[in-house]
Structure 1
């Protein structure tokens, strides 16, 4: 009996195990929060609970038994999407007049989880936008799991935490296979809460705050009566420089804006050996974090005959790979402004331009999550602080879902039973009519 049970569990485990190809690189994201709000009022699957039990526990996941590198084609796809998105965002800020700081990892992870629930032409459009064409869904999920495991706290002086959660209205059930995937591959926390309770907003925001180092305090402002689900991805990064900037070397010096105006600003300064690259258009340096320098901040400075706008026009995945291959060790000095900034943007237009417009329309097919839903709004918030000790960053991406069917406003009815009528008494569980009658004279 026990042997049969064990064999069944083992067979189930082997059937669910995804193959993960070997790769050589990894992607770093700063910090992020992802929010999905699914709008509707009916149960998605009345025969299942939103708190479905995972078939792969955290102790028996194949990805935890050995270090698995994400596939190179998967990392390349993520990078291509990130640069495409940044380019679209940049077009809204031409010429550059304000800071932009985003986390493509945050946005990509959010949309990848949503991609698990997409079907038909909606899935195809998202695959094109996310650069997932040619990569199967099992490969995507396994690679995200491997990537997140590798990125988690890679160094004693580098903190990188990634967390996911599903917050489901207590009266709602979701597709259990969708919940299963978020648990098995994205290690998602799943919780049922009462969305009508005023404390629900604080409950969700407290989780976000706890998983972003306190830098994202509020991602959910309020919960509308017809919202039933929030899917949240949180990423937080904090790294100390491998070689800290001495505070005694920080001095106030002029910093020149795009318009040529100057302001006095604290400039950090140091000398040493760096990975460095220079061409006719810019200088670039790699400033490593931690003990082994596995994670770095890359700074690209357009030359005076060029500018940031020209640089952004040439910024794409292909050029990035070419530039990365040409960094070499070189002695030098650097002055870097101490800075802190936050940024907020709605990504609807950018994502539509990149090819996933259908996901925002009534033709959207997210039947893998629930029925009759489409993306209503994608928002992104980000924060970064760079000082003499290192860098701290966080971001928040909210993906809201709306109902695709139009609700007609209802006016109060009046029913005056002042003439002959029919009535019945029915057992609703069995649907049996227990009594019925026609009343012509009460």
Structure 2
């Protein structure tokens, strides 16, 4: 009965979103992890071995009319992991556009973490910043986080989907499958990986759960491949205050090389949550009716640059900066941009300490026998223009300047050079997406 009610509610929200959203822009991300076999897997002649019901008792999630409280330790861990991973990607793609969803990657790796043991589990916990949290805490808080993040505003759509795709000839421990179903609502399917249609079936799921913005994550399936763990995030929303189309004009954008290019720049003025230091300006642009989710732009000052900004970009400074935003009047000029991004994350994750998970020494005995990660792949799409991006947040609540403070001169923020940006859920503090925009492309 509860499951029917949940499905009905989800369908209602989807219909309401389709009617109310109208014209808006899409941000989507998908990440995938490919698990390879080191040795031979036990063949299971009973049908759908990965789908078999667990003999262990099901884990029942708490049911409550009130939103479940999320342990701040998990959000903090995800923030640290996101910035650490981003810094590794900057090593490879410095001065290039980067846009990732640390939340998507964290969800996919958390599902995989349920199968790790021994030193592999310790290495993954270190890389994911999960030390000090047991598996039950991690899983239950991810379940709460998923429920809290999804569809946060009537004018914002945020959907998180997980899935496991297993080769029909491979065996996996039932409680590993069960945990991913119980806590991550993962769809579990068996496929014949030798069938040439298998990649298309997996990619169709990705396309469906990113609303067509990402259409492929698996090119071909290696003979040693036995399992894919996938996460897909789709996010779509309107600005609380849209940019006026007739104010968009082609104006100079200056690349880090000093080269000037003409690019469509959107303009508006008003009251914004704003923060400024000697090194950068930052502004928060809310989405939806409540502004629970915001688009944050960090622009290095003329006497600085993006490379210098990244030297101070870490979780500790991030939390400090988030507390410093205050309402201020000003004008804003922001480039319209659209991009796709793709990365294989093996090297970056290895640099963060989980190299063992990709080697023959990997211990995924809580998942099955003789397993290692073959590849962690990530793709994103983002579009930002006059009508929106994706996200929703309440960034202006309780941040107005009091009358006791002296009036400040209106700021002017012209984002006409490389900048850093994020999309953040302000209620939980979750960073959904982050990006380095070196050269916007419309």
Tell me the TM-score range normalised by the shorter chain.
0.7 to 0.9
Distance 1:178 1:116 in 2: 6
Q: CA deviation at 1:348?
A: 1.8
Distance 2:219 2:233 in 1: 20
Correspondence for 1:334: 332
Q: CA deviation at 1:44?
A: 7.2
Task: Give yes or no for the alignment of 1:254 onto 2:252.
Answer: yes
SS at match of 1:220: coil
Structure 1 segment 107-186 matched on structure 2, within 5 A: 107-186=105-184
Distance 1:309 1:284 in 2: 16
Tell which deviates more after alignment, 168-177 or 151-160. Answer: 168-177
Cα displacement string for residues 34-69 of structure 1 (whole angstroms, at most 9, x for unaligned residues): 323333352377889311347659xx7425653112
Contact 1:251–1:266 (CA<8 Å) still a contact in 2?
Answer: yes
Task: Give yes or no for the alignment of 1:290 onto 2:288.
Answer: yes
Q: CA deviation at 1:374?
A: 1.4
RMSD: 2.2
Number of aligned residues: 364
Distance 1:43 1:35 in 2: 24
Distance 2:139 2:356 in 1: 23
Distance 1:46 1:120 in 2: 30
Deviating 4+ runs (over 6 angstroms): 44-48, 393-396
Instruction: Indicate how the Cα distance of structure 1 residues 93 and 39 shifts in structure 2: closer, same or farther if over 3 A, else same.
Output: closer
Say which structure, 1 or 2, has more relative contact order (CA 8 Å, 6+ apart).
2
Correspondence for 2:41: 42
SS at match of 2:275: strand
Contact 1:52–1:180 (CA<8 Å) still a contact in 2?
Answer: no
Cα displacement string for residues 108-138 of structure 1 (whole angstroms, at most 9, x for unaligned residues): 1111111111100111111111100001110
Contact 2:71–2:141 (CA<8 Å) still a contact in 1?
Answer: yes
Structure 2: tracts of 5 or more residues without a match? 1-25, 392-422, 424-431, 434-442
Distance 1:353 1:191 in 2: 32
Contact 1:44–1:173 (CA<8 Å) still a contact in 2?
Answer: yes
Distance 2:288 2:189 in 1: 35
Correspondence for 1:273: 271
Contact 2:30–2:233 (CA<8 Å) still a contact in 1?
Answer: yes
Q: CA deviation at 1:243?
A: 0.5
Q: CA deviation at 1:306?
A: 0.3
SS at match of 2:100: coil
Correspondence for 2:102: 104
Correspondence for 1:92: 92
Distance 1:317 1:38 in 2: 30
Instruction: Indicate how the Cα distance of structure 1 residues 328 and 337 shifts in structure 2: closer, same or farther if over 3 A, else same.
Output: same
Contact 2:162–2:231 (CA<8 Å) still a contact in 1?
Answer: yes
Instruction: Indicate how the Cα distance of structure 1 residues 326 and 45 shifts in structure 2: closer, same or farther if over 3 A, else same.
Output: farther
Instruction: Indicate how the Cα distance of structure 1 residues 144 and 127 shifts in structure 2: closer, same or farther if over 3 A, else same.
Output: same
Correspondence for 2:72: 72
Structure 1 segment 399-414 matched on structure 2, within 5 A: none
Cα displacement string for residues 341-385 of structure 1 (whole angstroms, at most 9, x for unaligned residues): 111222222211111111122111011112112122222221111
Contact 2:36–2:374 (CA<8 Å) still a contact in 1?
Answer: no
Structure 1: tracts of 5 or more residues without a match? 1-28, 397-442
Distance 2:149 2:324 in 1: 25
Rg comparison, structure with higher value: 1
